[in-house]
Chains A and B, each alone.
Chain A
Amino acid sequence: MIAVSEVSKVYPSQVRGGRPLVAVDTVDLTVQDGEFVTVVGPSGCGKTTLLNLLAGFEQPNRGEIRLDDRPVVRPGPERAVVFQQPSLLPWMTVKENIAFGLTLREGTRRVDQIRIASMVETMGLTGFENHRPYQLSGGMQQRVAIARALIIEPRVLLMDEPFGALDAQTRSEMQRFLLSIWGKLHPTVLFVTHDVEEAIMLADRVVVMTPRPGRIADILTVSLARPRQWDLTLSREFNEYKRKILQVLRPPEERDPVRLA
């Protein structure tokens, strides 16, 4: 279980005399084991900062983050991250990239080949084991990155807009793919995105964040049945969720356009 309690992150101003930037303001969030939580919001709402805090790349100025009652102080394999860019290592083959976490943990490149083969198969990467990452398409690269994270069986999988760089078609394929993987392995997932439909499609709960300062504006429990079909986005219930979220995210100038001038 992840427990984020009253966490704030403030960056000093980039210009002299400017105001410090409150990226995340007093955020409270609990994620249960096996739960799929998405965080949605426009850029600047602090969603990536929140993920970086969970990953341990940065430390909060106030508040505390705990994973299974242990405070998060640095990056570690119990909180595997899938980045927006696949960030695979080009000097390793697909198989070696997937095995990377195991290699580091066991201190040798001779790691459990059966486990890797089964992960390759689960991820639909059969036949590409010995390819280099740059020989794969964007979608496949991201599947390798997900495999690399899942194989070390992390307590939680942190995903930072992992499909943001993909084209629409590949993105929706990858969403269905992620859901089928999640259905099989049930990892705890915290998934950051700016895409409202993606957030609803995947989630048990959607955390909606708004910028300046980055705050949680709303948390919605998505009670759409699983497995979720591709045409779910067309259903009335789905669009009900979408409307609720968009209402929260509605830009302020639309309420009062005069103040723009």
Chain B
Amino acid sequence: MAYSMKAQADEDALLREESSLAEESLDLKSAQKHRHLYVSWLVAVALILLWWLVTAVHVFPPLDLPSPLHVAKDIYAISTTGYNGYSLLDNIGASTLRIAVGFFAAVILGVPIGFWMASNTIIFNAIDPVLQFLRPIPPLAYIPLMVLWFGTGQMSKFVLIFFCTIPMIIISAMSGVKSAQESRLRVAQVFGANRRQMFRYITLPSALPEIFTGMRIAIAVAWTCLVAAEMIAAQSGLGAMILTAGNQLRVGVVFVGIIFIGLIGYLMEVVIRTVERRMVPWKGKA
């Protein structure tokens, strides 16, 4: 009896000590969360200033390199009166739709294909050569085929972005499955997991961090494919806008297109990162 009371007291002491330990580690985490965001803003402002400086001293003729103010005016003009019959919002909407459809189709199909390849050698041997063969082909090379097979409408753009992004999704899902730790698979075995439970509680969560990394790389690649996709007889879209403006030597409009592709790409990255933090809070910690 005396022992058990003493043991209880010891346990309580132990608990208090450990709870303060845990709090300490939480403090460390919140310290890391202080992310010095002002640095990013400073760099953005500095870049714009540098750009303005280069234009102000006329390093390049203004026709080749418009000033920030000029581009700002172009942004306003395209937003209100439009360019080539489409407003800035139309163009952003058209491009974002193409990216979204192609990218999400790639994720929805690519993740299961990757899982399937990781769990079945026959499937792996069947798909892997095709995948590796298609991977180095530049998106521009697909354009004639896309037009022939899918016409000049939206479908050919969706398919092109889909083909450019799906290899990364498949590969990340596949290697994610393989990153499941032996010790965790054993835990599930010990506690009597069936195949479905093994997948749900061990394999899938183990694969998530790598799938998110794959998605983040793929979304950037999708934007780089966009200009190629919009070379296929597109009227609207940021890529199409850049191409038309380039032909008409409207460099300011080209800049507007580049800036918005960059900004929306960044925004999408931030969205995926936020979803990742919510779904994979343990990443890098265990």
Q: Which A residues are within 8 Å of any B CB, using their own CB?
A: 55, 57, 74-77, 79-81, 83, 85, 87, 89-91, 100-101, 103-105, 107, 124, 126-128, 131-137, 139-140, 148, 152, 173, 176-177, 180, 183, 227, 229
Q: Does B34 contact A (CB under 8 A)?
A: no
Q: Is the interface of B mostly helix, strand, loop or mixed?
A: helix
Q: Complex Cα distance A176/B14, Å?
A: 12
Q: Does B281 contact A (CB under 8 A)?
A: yes
Q: Assuming the A-B contacts A85-B183, A139-B14, are A134 and B191 also in contact, with contact meaning beta carbons closer than 8 angstroms in the complex?
A: no
A-B pairs with beta carbons under 8 Å apart, 20 shown: A75-B192, A79-B190, A80-B191, A81-B186, A83-B186, A87-B181, A89-B187, A90-B285, A91-B205, A104-B193, A104-B197, A124-B12, A124-B15, A131-B22, A134-B282, A134-B286, A136-B18, A176-B10, A177-B14, A180-B7
In this complex, what residue of A is CB-closest to B193? A104
Contacting residues, chain A, for B64 (C-beta < 8 A):
none
CB distance from B200 to the nearest CB of A (A): 10
1-55 of chain B: CB within 8 A of chain A = 3-4, 7, 10-12, 14-15, 18-19, 21-22, 25-26
In this complex, what residue of B is CB-closest to A176? B7
Q: Assuming the A-B contacts A77-B190, A133-B286, are A140 and B205 also in contact, with contact meaning beta carbons closer than 8 angstroms in the complex?
A: no
Interface centre among B12, B21, B188, B191 (most CB of A within 10 A): B191
Q: Complex Cα distance A126/B8, Å?
A: 13
Q: Does B80 contact A (CB under 8 A)?
A: no
Q: How large is the interface on B (under 10, 10 to 19, 20 to 34, 35 or more residues)?
A: 35 or more
Contact B22 A128 (CB under 8 A): yes
Name the one of A76, A134, A177 contacting B11, with C-beta atoms under 8 angstroms. Answer: A177
Contact B188 A104 (CB under 8 A): yes
Contact B19 A127 (CB under 8 A): yes
In this complex, what residue of B is CB-closest to A227? B3
Contact A173 B4 (CB under 8 A): no
Contact A89 B191 (CB under 8 A): no
CB distance from A2 to the nearest CB of B (A): 16
Q: Does B277 contact A (CB under 8 A)?
A: no
Contact B286 A87 (CB under 8 A): no
76-109 of chain B: CB within 8 A of chain A = none
Contact B190 A80 (CB under 8 A): yes
Q: Complex Cα distance A58/B25, Å?
A: 38
Contact A105 B192 (CB under 8 A): yes
CB distance from B192 to the nearest CB of A (A): 4
CB distance from A81 to the nearest CB of B (A): 5
Contact B18 A132 (CB under 8 A): no
In this complex, what residue of A is CB-closest to B189? A75
In this complex, what residue of A is CB-closest to B281? A132
Contact A89 B205 (CB under 8 A): yes
Contact A77 B191 (CB under 8 A): yes
CB distance from B177 to the nearest CB of A (A): 15
Q: Complex Cα distance A128/B26, Å?
A: 13
Contact A76 B201 (CB under 8 A): no
Contacting residues, chain A, for B3 (C-beta < 8 A):
227, 229
Q: Complex Cα distance A91/B181, Å?
A: 13
CB distance from A8 to the nearest CB of B (A): 23
Name the one of A76, A104, A105, A137 contacting B18, with C-beta atoms under 8 angstroms. Answer: A137
Contacting residues, chain B, for A229 (C-beta < 8 A):
3
Contacting residues, chain A, for B18 (C-beta < 8 A):
136-137, 139-140
CB distance from B64 to the nearest CB of A (A): 53
Contacting residues, chain A, for B201 (C-beta < 8 A):
89, 100, 103-104
Contacting residues, chain B, for A183 (C-beta < 8 A):
4
185-220 of chain B: CB within 8 A of chain A = 186-194, 197, 201-202, 205, 208
Contacting residues, chain A, for B10 (C-beta < 8 A):
173, 176
CB distance from A201 to the nearest CB of B (A): 14
| CB-based closest 7 A-B pairs | A90-B286, A90-B282, A91-B205, A75-B189, A101-B191, A134-B285, A77-B192
Q: Assuming the A-B contacts A89-B205, A134-B286, are A76 and B7 also in contact, with contact meaning beta carbons closer than 8 angstroms in the complex?
A: no
CB distance from A104 to the nearest CB of B (A): 5
